Copies of this chain bind each other. A is one copy, B any other.
Amino acid sequence: MKLATLCDGTPDGRLVVVSRDLSRAVAAGATRPHLISVLSHWEQERLQLQALYDSLNAGTAADSFAFDPCHCMAPLPRSPQWLDASAFLNHGRLMETAFNTPPIPKFDTVPVMYQGASDDFLGPCDDVPLPSEADGIDFEGEFGVVVDRVPLGATPAEALAAVRLVVQINDWSLRALGPHEMATGFGFLQAKPSTSFAPVAVTPDELGDAWQAGRVHLALHVQLNGQRFGEPHGREMNFDFGQLVAHAARTRRLSAGTIVGSGTVSNVSRAAGSACLAERRVIEIIDTGQARTPFMRFGDRVSMQAHFDDGRPGPFGRIDQQVVAARQP
């Protein structure tokens, strides 16, 4: 099942069911206007949404309409918690070099994770307003999961069983601000502005064999200003989503609709390229002694689209965004 949220001027938008081929959509209905409330009553709601999805795919849904991903907000325009890990250790190890920071303790046995703002997500085609090019504007292509309620102390298996939807994410990052915030020990805050999401959130069955061992086995194709940037593959994630969600729930309950991210998709093979500028820059530093690829300027565009191993486009649709100067308040 594929779900999206259309912009209607309200904070939570309007939930729609999207056809498997992303061509058509139909309103989820007056009794389920918002994805967040559907997630809070998943067992009651999912069968009726599935029936709607089946009829939409069969071409028999009443009142269906053409689906335009650029009318989408994030699938969950705001959510109870947004927790982002760094579960591709290859990326983290390269970033330690970039930030010239000491090795993260227990990095390969205990996930690292920060809490980001979850009240103001961006949709897949929204402009990305940021205050200054001097902040080191960067993208981070990721996968993530949306969970049902997770009790405090859930095991990784219990946590994985609570996954309801899979999403594709651009975790915007301001690299000039990150090293200071890491050095304080309090973690990222200013370095992490609003996060963006691909238009469609999908139930794990939409991934077929690509949802495997709690990981998204898709390549994430990233383009910067229309040029190929990389297509790292999700299979190399060092912690699975069950481990990440259980880490988050070690001392707190997670409300239905909590989103947990993988961190930047990153592969050991350099042939895959990267899903963020910082990683390419540190590889340049390692190889040549200096970074040549600049961070983003206002007007630059990044697009991200997952792909199955057989070349078919992934189920989430495409993120395609432009960075712009934030208006002065």
Contact = CB atoms under 8 A, between A and B. Distances in A.
28 contacts: A78-B80, A78-B255, A101-B185, A104-B185, A104-B186, A107-B184, A112-B184, A113-B186, A113-B189, A114-B186, A119-B255, A120-B255, A129-B152, A131-B152, A135-B251, A152-B193, A153-B326, A153-B328, A158-B329, A174-B251, A181-B185, A182-B185, A186-B187, A186-B188, A190-B251, A191-B251, A193-B252, A194-B253
Given A105-B184, A130-B251, A187-B187, 5 more contacts: A101-B185, A104-B184, A120-B252, A120-B255, A187-B188
Contacts of A188: 186-187
Given A106-B180, A329-B158, A250 B151 contact: no
A81 B117 contact: yes
Interface string A247-286: 1101111010010000000000000000000000000000
A224 interface: no
A329 to B, nearest CB: 4
Interface in A192-239: 192-194
B180 A183 contact: no
Contacts of A135: 251
Contacts of A80: 78, 118-120
B187 A131 contact: no
A115 B116 contact: yes
A160 interface: no
A115 B81 CA distance: 10
Contact of A250 (B86, B106, B118, B190): B190
A296 interface: no
A4 interface: no
A177 interface: yes
Contacts of A152: 129, 131, 193, 326, 329
A86 B186 CA distance: 10
A130 B112 CA distance: 21
Nearest to A132: B251
A16 interface: no
4 closest Cβ pairs, A-B complex = A187-B187, A182-B185, A80-B119, A151-B329
Contacts of A250: 131, 190
A114 B182 CA distance: 11
Contacts of A184: 104-105, 107, 112
